[in-house]
């Protein structure tokens, strides 16, 4: 199977990659490498490994039943769907706001215009809502295939080239210290969106349901292949971003800015230092288009999952599906703007708050996914392997322990 045929077969896996490769990679992974060096590589590996079952249960459940994980939650009891609704409403505006701010910062830096970042945030939000409102997600699928390839190639090239560069080191950066609360808080924020919020497992199942075919072993095989390409591809790129941050920014005395615009410049300069100035136009366009695709993918996923959640809770659809979907697009975009207004121009604070919030809700969503896959409706080849189940239990316990540690240090 050649690379072009693989790209053609990608469906929800590509939307997953579009939603995952964004703040968690460009911002958090680079910050991790810049702040603590190569020690963060093991965090990326463990986070992706321990969270894998919770994300994989999305396509697996849909392949088994032809329905989304939300229907599996309903079978656990209406309380589970209400709980998911509560968690989603409590985080959706913050998640969308953080992503929009980073995208706007890149847009302002790349465009070299005098427009304020607020103009860019409003413009990006309106364009994304319009793009999705008129139903151009298929066009996004095609564009993302090109965008992801360009970003992946330039990121891998920059990570490799960084080993051959000569960046002055000052030796002033402190190693990661578990007894340092600020270090621990960053670790939790980093893991919160590494590789992505667990909420995306539900979005993924909704996307899969839209494209599903009757349940069959072949459909399961194709669904898991599609998912694995997206999941492990983004995991590999996260490692590359950590390497880039560690090689080009760690121990250099450079402090990453809390301003989205200045931060964007620092990231692009890191690429340029590794590859040369010729790469600036390419990586600038690739980084912005990647973040814009993330903005669109997350807005689509959140809006669709809200429509599906309410339909399942009330067992009817009072509005036409498109009207309901567009309502949530508008509400999500407006709510994100309000969140950004509250945080001002401090990108770091907003991103850390959003990712930490996702980390604290992760054990609940992980538990629901595990319960769904242990139900009697999952039979035969659709039952997860013993190894996958074991990893999910270890991952769930790990998430709970770290959440309790965070709550204890932060509030008690």
Distance CA 254, CA 231 (A): 31
The CA distances from residue 169 to 163, 251, 254, 367, in Å, are 13, 5, 10, 44
Given the candidates 1.10.150.120, 3.10.350.10, 3.40.50.300, 1.20.1740.10, the CATH classification of the domain at 3-411 is 1.20.1740.10
How many residues does the structure list for the chain? 412
pLDDT number for residue 137: 60
pLDDT number for residue 156: 87
Give, for all 412 residues of the chain, the pLDDT tens digit. 444 444 455 567 777 887 788 788 888 898 899 889 999 999 999 999 999 999 999 999 998 988 999 999 999 999 999 999 999 999 999 999 999 999 999 999 888 888 888 899 999 999 989 888 877 666 666 666 777 778 788 888 888 888 887 776 766 667 888 888 888 888 998 998 898 889 999 998 988 887 765 555 567 888 888 899 889 989 999 999 999 888 888 887 777 788 888 888 888 888 888 888 888 888 888 888 888 888 988 998 899 999 999 889 887 655 555 668 889 999 999 999 998 888 876 788 888 888 888 899 999 999 999 999 999 889 889 999 999 999 999 999 999 999 998 888 877 7
């Amino acid at each position: 199977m050649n690379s072009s045929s693989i790209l053609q077969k990608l469906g929800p896996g590509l939307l997953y990659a579009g939603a995952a490769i964004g703040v968690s990679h460009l911002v958090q992974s680079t910050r991790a490498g810049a702040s603590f060096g190569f020690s963060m590589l093991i965090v990326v590996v463990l986070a992706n490994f321990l969270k894998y079952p919770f994300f994989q249960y999305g396509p697996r459940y849909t392949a088994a039943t032809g329905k989304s994980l939300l229907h599996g939650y309903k079978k656990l009891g209406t309380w589970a769907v209400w709980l998911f609704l509560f968690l989603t409403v409590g985080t959706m505006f913050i998640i969308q706001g953080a992503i929009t701010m980073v995208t706007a910062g890149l847009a302002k830096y790349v465009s070299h215009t005098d427009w304020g970042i607020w103009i860019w945030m409003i413009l990006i939000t309106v364009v994304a809502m319009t793009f999705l409102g008129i139903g151009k997600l298929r066009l996004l699928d095609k564009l993302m295939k090109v965008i992801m390839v360009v970003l992946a190639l330039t990121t891998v090239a920059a990570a490799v080239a960084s080993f051959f560069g000569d960046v002055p080191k000052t030796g002033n950066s402190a190693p990661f210290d578990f007894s340092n609360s600020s270090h621990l808080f960053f670790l939790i924020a980093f893991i919160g969106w590494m590789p992505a919020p667990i909420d995306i497992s539900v979005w993924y199942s909704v996307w899969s349901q839209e494209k599903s075919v009757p349940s069959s072993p072949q459909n399961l095989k194709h669904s898991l292949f599609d998912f694995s390409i997206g999941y492990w591809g983004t995991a590999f790129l996260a490692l590359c971003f950590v390497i880039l941050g560690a090689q080009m920014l760690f121990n250099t005395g450079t402090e990453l800015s809390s301003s989205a615009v200045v931060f964007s410049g620092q990231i692009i300069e890191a690429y340029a230092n590794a590859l040369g100035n010729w790469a600036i136009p390419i990586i600038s366009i690739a980084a912005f288009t990647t973040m814009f695709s993330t903005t669109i993918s997350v807005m689509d996923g959140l809006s669709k999952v809200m429509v599906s959640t309410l339909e399942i809770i009330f067992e009817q659809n009072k509005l036409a599906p498109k009207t309901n979907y567009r309502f949530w697009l508008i509400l999500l975009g407006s709510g994100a703007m309000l969140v950004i207004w509250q945080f001002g121009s401090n990108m770091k604070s907003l991103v850390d708050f959003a990712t930490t919030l996702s980390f604290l809700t992760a054990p609940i969503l992980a538990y629901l996914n595990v319960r769904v896959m242990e139900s009697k409706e999952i039979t035969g080849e659709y039952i997860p392997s013993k190894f996958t189940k074991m990893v999910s239990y270890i991952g769930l316990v790990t998430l709970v322990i770290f959440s309790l540690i965070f709550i204890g240090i932060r509030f008690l």
